[in-house]
Each structure stands twice: as structure tokens, then as C-alpha cells.
A and B are shown apart, each in its own frame.
With several copies, the nearest count.
Chain A
Amino acid sequence: MVDKTLKSVDEAVAGVFDGATIFCGGFGDTQLPGQLLEALREKGVKDLTIVHNGSGAGTHALGGLIADGRVRKLIASFPNNPGGTSFQDLYLKGQIELELVPQGTLAERIRAAGAGLGGFFTPTAAGTELAKGKETRTIDGREYVFEKPLRGDFAFVRAHRADRIGNLNFRRTMRNFNVPMCTAAKFVAAEVDELVPLGDISPEDVHVPGIFVDRIVQVARHPMQTLAATVGR
């Protein structure tokens, strides 16, 4: 019987190595795979490349990993969170690298890797400084920029429900980058609110089929990512 469930987040991050490229799912800090990222912090790997929409606030999860100096490079669309972050401090000191990618291009590059494509032409950024040095092409009268797929060694995501074969289901706006990220990393681990018996997730409600997921761990949301912590109640 296939069983992708793990007892602890430590097991899920055990294989991460120095220099790895890590997809970090979620959009906004409440949806980060906070417990997996904290386990990764504990593990102490370094020179990581992190792919995430933002740069992570505070001193836990992604913000903590960056504050600890474990991250060599961030690939993101919106790292300048208004609140100020560890990333911003390190970036201004020249101690962390940034590859800035428009949000839609970031999502599509990840999807392209998962879908086995060699790259695609997008109109976004054509004629702007974010297209500098990139191949462009005029197709049917419009200018496009060539973008290559973006692959990860590891993807860490947070989902709502999962079963033992790795099917994932998300609530509300939780899908975001998690869906493409699960398809495009060599090893994918999800922390979930709830582990349910096989068959409890209706086949129509599977948002990420188990084929894309290697390991599952049921764990409460990180205390700093709860509603109480976020809205101050």
C-alpha cells in the first residue's frame, strides 16, 4: 500500500542540500508552509535559492530563513513588502541576490517546467527594463519576450486536506502558486490541515493529483500564521 504520509516535518525536509532551489508556496505570509520552513531552518542548510512571490515578513518561516542568512538568492515578483523584511535589509547590504520576475511570468515559468515545455513567449515586460538582455520576437504584430521554464529541487506547500496517496485539496484562495509548484519540483512535500481517508476527497475536488506530491504531513498552521496572530486577536 502506498503511504506518503510522514509523522514529522523534519522527515519532509531531510533531503534538502546546500545550494538547492526551493519552491515556497503560498501567497502572503498566512499561507506559507510555515512548519516545513521552520523545520528547514532547524536543519541549517545554506546557499539556498528560494522561489516565492514575496520575501516573507517577520522572523519565522521564510522571513526567518532569510534572516538566518541561509538564502543566497530570491526569485520573486514582489519582495518589497511594505512592512520591511529581512530580505530587504540583506538586499540593501548586498548580501542576497534578487531575480525579479513579473507575477504572471513567474507562475507560467513554473507551470512550463512542470508541463515539460522548453519555454514560451509572453507579452509581459516587452520593451521594459525587465526584458533587458532577453530574447524578443514579434509574433502576429506583437512583441513577446522569451521565458524559460523554472524548475525546483524541492517544493514546500501548505494545503487544506490530503489523503495518503498525496491528493491535495485547497480552501478559498489557497491554490495560488502551490498548484504549479507541485508539478515542477523533483521532490514535493505538503503540510496540511487535515489528513483524510482515501476517497474522502471527491475526484472532482482534487486540485493537485497525488502524482505530483511525494510526501504529506498533517500539522497545525504555524502560530505566527494564524488569524489571531494576523489580526491581533
Chain B
Amino acid sequence: MSLTREGIAYRVACDLPEGAYVNLGIGIPTLVSGFIPEGKEIFFHSENGILGMGAIAEPGHEDIDLINAGKQYVTVRPGASFFDHPTSFSMIRGGHIDYAVLGALEVAANGDLANWRTPGEKVPGVGGAMDLAFGSPNVLVTMTHTTNKGKPKILNKCTLPLTAPHCVKRIYTDMALIYVTPEGLELREYAPGLDAKTVQSHTEAPLRVSPDCREMKVPAKFVAAAQVAT
């Protein structure tokens, strides 16, 4: 048993407090905004110059001048603001973005993050990934627990080029919620139907099981029989 992509995003959404300023990376992070309950006010930042981003624009209602960092046509919510790149990255690098929710290729036990350069990728591109990883005080990673070949992505040491060292605070996967602590990784929750031992068996880095460790509370629709694809 494991969470769907939506399940991972849902679990992250539960942890974002009202009033938080949040930047969502591409992939699973993008889904997070769909699971913020009505009435909980969260401010989404897009690094190309939006604070207070809303949903993707409905077909026929796109504004040519209003795109997000993924170049999708989006909307804004009341109270939004627009600004230039130096201001936008002042927000990021200056530590003002409370949460950066990012995808990952690998995470190490010490919080090192690798998510910008895949081994097969011949043309490199970094975008705003490093600024977010270095800048936000709370880097939350969402990813499948293992590669599609079943290899662990939570490692003793990253093998891929780093995005930023020591930056990850929490890891949300289809199998578990893991905190990065000064004493190493701490298993806080496992997906419904799993247990700590199973999670460890898919994790290279050693996991300390939190005294409060429990089964994750997510609606049944977010739990799948098999592992989800990346």
C-alpha cells in the first residue's frame, strides 16, 4: 500500500499553517494547492513575480501577460501582488518564503538535496531551484520513496550533484513522512497498511522511529495498492 501523488500533496497541504507564504515546485508540489481547505488562507508565490497566485486559468479566460514560473496561464486571488525578479528572489533568498515544496531525485540523511540535474540529462538547467533550496527556512520535499526501479532515493549520501546541502526539513513520500533532524532521519508517519520496518527496508539511510510514529491519516481515495510512478 502507498499514497497516490495526490495523497502526498494532500499530506503536505495538511501541514501548511494558515497565513503561510509558499512556493510550489513542479510535479507533485503543484498539486498541493488543490488540497488547501476552503477558509485556510495560504499565499502562493511564483518566482516570476506573483504573490497570491490562484488556480490555473480556465480555457478561454487566459491572460497572455499572467503566467506562473511553469509558463502556465494562471489566475490571482484578491490581495495578490506583482513584482520584478530581483524582488521575487529577495523574497526567496531572504528567507521570506516560509515553505518551499520541492520535488527531489535524492535526499541524504543530513538534509542534502539533489533535484536539479538528472544523470541522463545532457542540457543542464537550474532555474530557481537552488535559490529556493538555499533560501526557504522550510524546504519540504515530495517524491516517490524509491525510483521506478525500486531503488531507495533517501540515501546516506547523495550521488547526484547537490541543489543545496543541509536544506531539507521534511520528506513526504508515498510511503512515509520523515523529518530531518540534527540526529538524522526520524520516521514520523507511514502510509496506511505499511509499518516502520517496511519503510526502512526501502530506505538506505537509517531511520529513527519517532516515539509518536503513527499511521498516516489520509482519505482512502489517496491510498493505492501499488507504488505510484514519479
Direct contact, A vs B (beta carbon within 8 Å)? yes
Interface contact A211-B91, CB-CB below 8 Å: yes
Contact status of A116 and B82, CB under 8 A, knowing A1-B41, A80-B123, A172-B66: no
B90 interface residue (CB < 8 Å to A): yes
A123/B134 contact (C-beta < 8 A), A92-B123, A175-B49, A203-B76 known: yes
Is B85 in contact with A103, judged by CB distance below 8 angstroms?
A: yes
CB pair A210 B43 closer than 8 Å:
yes
Q: CB within 8 Å of B: which of A125-142? A: 125-130
Would B64 and A167 count as touching, CB distance under 8 A? no
Residue A33 CB within 8 A of the other chain: no
Are A165 and B127 in contact, CB atoms less than 8 angstroms apart? no
Stretch touching chain B among A10-18, A36-44, A62-70, A104-112: A104-112
Report A209 CB to chain B, min CB distance, Å: 4
Contact B93 A104 (CB under 8 A): yes
Known: A107-B89, A176-B85. A100 touches B124 (CB 8 A): yes
In the bound assembly, the distance between CA atoms of A124 and B93 in angstroms comes to 8
B39 touches A103 (CB 8 A): no
- Interface residue count on the B side (C-beta < 8 Å): 64
| Residue numbers in A under 8 Å from B125 (CB-CB) | 76-80, 100
Taking the complex as formed, is B131 at the interface, i.e. its CB lies under 8 A from any CB of chain A? Answer: yes
In angstroms, Cα B39 to Cα A210, docked, is: 18
CA gap between A87 and B122 in the complex, in Å: 12
Are the CB atoms of A122 and B93 closer together than 8 Å? Answer: yes
Report Cα–Cα, A163/B80, bound state, in Å.
11
Contacts A107-B89, A211-B21, A211-B51 known; A100 to B78 CB distance under 8 Å? no
What separation, in Å, do the CA atoms of A114 and B97 have in the docked complex?
12
Q: Which residues in chain B, 66-102, are within 8 Å of chain A measured between CB atoms? A: 66-68, 71, 73, 76, 78-97
Q: Which residue of A lies closest to B131 (CB)?
A: A104
> Are B96 and A199 closer than 8 Å at their CB atoms?
no
Complex CA distance for A124 and B68, rounded to whole angstroms: 22
* B131-A173 in contact (CB<8A): no
Find chain B residues with CB under 8 A from A91 CB: 122-123
What does the 1/0 interface line of B136-158 toward A look like (CB < 8 Å)? 00000000000000000000000
B51 touches A104 (CB 8 A): no
Q: How far does the alpha carbon of A30 sit from the alpha carbon of B82 in the complex, in Å?
A: 17
Does residue B50 face the partner (Cβ distance < 8 Å to A)?
yes
Q: Is A177 located at the chain interface by the 8 A CB criterion? A: yes
**Chain A hits for B183, CB < 8 A:** none
A108 touching B89 by the CB < 8 A rule?
A: yes
B66 touches A114 (CB 8 A): no
